[in-house]
Chains A and B, each alone.
Chain A
Amino acid sequence: MTTLAPPRETAPSTTQPARRRKPRRKGRLLHVYTWLILLWMFLPIVVMAAFGFNNTHSRYNFTWQGFTLHWWQNLFAIPNLTGSLVNSFTIAIIVTLFSVILGTPMGMALGRYRFRGHGTTDFVLFANIAAPEIGLGAALLSLYIAMGLPRGYWTIVIAHIMFCIPFVAITVRARMSGFDLSLEEAARDLGAGPLTTFRLVTLPMIIPGVIAGALLSFALSIDDFIITEFTAGQTLTFPLWIWGASRLGIPPQADVMGTIIFVVGALLALISGLLLRKRD
C-alpha cells in the first residue's frame, strides 16, 4: 500500500526565526452583530422605561417634556389600572401553582415510563404548544358560550392553566431524561420505601426543572394577551388594560408598572438562575 506513503522528503531547511504572533480573528464582526440585535430587542423597553419618567401634560405620552418622578410617586392613581395589575399578579400566582401541580406529574410520567398513550399525550401537548393562541382563545370562548358560562376572572385562570401545563410538563420531562434511575434503585436497596425515595432522591433532582417550569408559567401568564382577551369578558388584566387604553393614550403609570414588572422579573430570573447553577 505504498500509494499512501507520503512523498519523498527533501533535506530539512534551517530553522526560520520565530514569526510574529498574529492573533486569530475571534469572530469580531458577529460579536458586534449580536450586540446590535440585543440592543434592538431592548429598544422598546428602554423607551417604555424612559416614558415612565416623562413629565407629560397631555393624555398622549408621546413627546418628551421633562423628567419627573411624579408617576412613580402616584403609581396607583388610576384605580382600573391598578386593579388590572393586581389581577395579573394574582392570576399568575394561582396559575403557576396549579400548572406546577398538574404538569409536574405529567412530565415525570412522560420522562420515565413507557406506556400506551405516551405518544398520544406527546402529541396533544405538542399540538397545544404549537397551536396559535388565537385558536386556543377562540376555542375556549366557544366552550364558554356553548356552556353559557359568563366570562371573568376564573375563566381567565382556567385558560392560563390550560396553556401553561404543557410547558411545565416538558420542562420537567427534559429534567427527567437526565435522571439516573439507578439512584432510585440504590435508595430502595438501602431500605427506603417508594414515598421516601421520591421525597429524598427523585424530588430534589427534578426540583430545578419544576422551578424552571414554574417561572416559565408565571412569565407566560402575567404577560399573556391574546388568550386572555378572548376569555376575560369584562375583567381586565394589565395587558388588557393597556390594549383598551392604547387608542386613548397610555398614562405614564402604565409605563412605570411595566418597568417594575420587568425589573422584578429580571431579578427573579437572575437569582433563580444563580441558585440553580449552584445546585448543579
Chain B
Amino acid sequence: MSSTMSATTGSARRDVSSAEQQSTAAISLVGVSKAYESRSGDSVLAVDHIDLTINQGEFFSMLGPSGCGKTTTLRMIGGFEEPTGGQVLLYGDDVTDTPPNRRDVNMVFQSYALFPHMDIFANVAFGLRRAKVAKAEIATRVNEALELVELGGMGKRKPNQLSGGQQQRVALARALVNRPRALLLDEPLGALDLKLRQTMQIELKRIQREVGITFVYVTHDQGEALTMSDRIAVMNGGHIEQLGPPKEIYERPATRFTAGFIGTSNILEGTVERMDGGLAVLTMPGEGRVLVPVNGSVIGEHIELTVRPEKITVCAEPPENGCALPGTITEVVYLGTSTNFTVTAADGTEMVAYVQNAVSADTDLDRGDRVWLCWPPEHGYALGGSGNPS
C-alpha cells in the first residue's frame, strides 16, 4: 500500500486507497466547503473543499489546532451547519439538505447539552420518545444504555447533581440509545481532568468496539487521537494535511505542519550533495553528516526532513556510519524513565533528543558540553509539500 507523494503540489491530501474503498463507506464528504462572511465583508473559508470517506465501524478522528475547521466539518455531518458547497452523504444518501432531526447520526456535544429540566432517564429517553418507540421498549433500552456507561440506577437524578464525567457519560448514553449509524463526538473529554480523561478514552474505545458503531471524533489533543483512532485526518486552515492510521501519521508525516503538530519533531534543512543508493547525502549549514531516504531527488535540491527525538542518541564522538550532527547541550531534563536533551547546533538550530535511562542514569553529560547527535539514516523522513521549488 505505497502512497505517492507529490513534491510539487502545495497540499498533501491523501486519496482513499483501494484497500479502504472495499470496506463500506459510512460517511462521505464530497468537495465540502463552508464559507463565512467576515466583518470586513470578504468570505473566510472555514472548511475548504474537503473530500473524505469514513468507513463503517471505524474510529475516525479529526485532529488539528483551534480554527482548523474540524468542528465545523463535524457539525456539517450532523446537520447543524449547512455546507456552502459540496455534498454530505450518509451510506450513499445525499443528506446535505436534511435537517439534523432527520439524520440517522447522533452527536455528543462539547458542553454535553443535557436538558437541565429533565432527569437522566428522560434525557436518555428523549430521542426514543420523539421516534415514537413503545414505552416498554424505551425503558429497556434506556436502562441498557445507562448500564453500558456504568450509570445504572441514576435515572432519577438531575444533570446538575452529576459530576462532569458522569454528565459526559449520560450524553454518550443519550446518543447511543438511538442506535445511530454513526456517532459524532465534539471534543467530549475537553472539560475533564487528566486522570478522568485517560479513563474515559479507554472507556470510549471499549464502547465503540463493543457496539460496533462508526465514531467520528474531533479533538485538538494529538495524544488522544493517536491512542484511540483507527484513522486520523490532520486538519489545518480548513483542509486536510494528512489522512491515515496513527502510526503512519506519526512515523511518516507528509508535511511540515503534520510533523510539527504530532509529537515533537526535529526539522532539519539541507541541500542534496550526492546520492548514495536510496539515500541522499545532504550538505548541512553547519558541520555534520546527514543522509535521508528519498524517492529520487536531484543534486542541489533543497530537502526538509524530520527526525523524532526518541530515535536520536547523544554521543561524545561521531560514529563511523549513520547521521551525526554536532552541537552544544543547552538543557538537560531528567524525567525518570528518560532524559531529554536540548542541543543547539552551530547554526543556531535547536534539536531535542529523548534518551532512555535504560542502562544507567549516570551520564556525565551536562549543559555546555559539546556532543554529537546520532541516528540511523532510515529514521529520518523527508517531508513533502514544503512548497519549495524543486
Contact = CB atoms under 8 A, between A and B. Distances in A.
Q: Indicate if A touches B (C-beta under 8 A).
A: yes
Interface of A: 1-7, 9, 11-19, 21-22, 24
B211 A1 contact: yes
Nearest to B145: A4
B211 A13 contact: no
Contact of B94 (A2, A3, A5, A16): A16
Contact of B179 (A7, A11, A12, A16): A7
25 contacts: A1-B148, A1-B210, A1-B211, A2-B212, A3-B144, A4-B176, A4-B179, A5-B212, A6-B179, A6-B180, A6-B213, A9-B24, A11-B24, A12-B92, A13-B92, A13-B93, A15-B28, A15-B89, A16-B94, A17-B94, A18-B96, A19-B94, A19-B97, A21-B96, A24-B82
Contacts of B200: none
Which of A6, A13, A15 counts the most chain B CB atoms within 10 A? A6
A211 to B, nearest CB: 27
Contacts of A18: 87, 94, 96
Contact of B141 (A3, A9, A15, A24): A3
A24 B80 CA distance: 12
Nearest to B104: A6
Given A1-B211, A12-B91, A24-B82, A19 B96 contact: yes
A101 to B, nearest CB: 40
A24 B30 CA distance: 21
B97 A4 contact: no
Contacts of A5: 179, 211-213
The 7 A-B pairs at the shortest CB distance, nearest first, are namely A13-B92, A12-B92, A16-B94, A4-B211, A5-B212, A6-B179, A18-B87
Interface residues of B, number: 28
B220 interface: no
A14 B92 contact: yes
Contacts of A22: 97
A11 B89 CA distance: 14
Given A1-B148, A13-B91, 16 more contacts: A1-B210, A2-B211, A4-B144, A5-B213, A6-B181, A6-B212, A7-B179, A15-B94, A16-B93, A16-B94, A17-B94, A18-B87, A18-B96, A19-B96, A19-B97, A22-B97
A4 B96 contact: no
Nearest to B86: A18
B94 A4 contact: no
A236 to B, nearest CB: 51
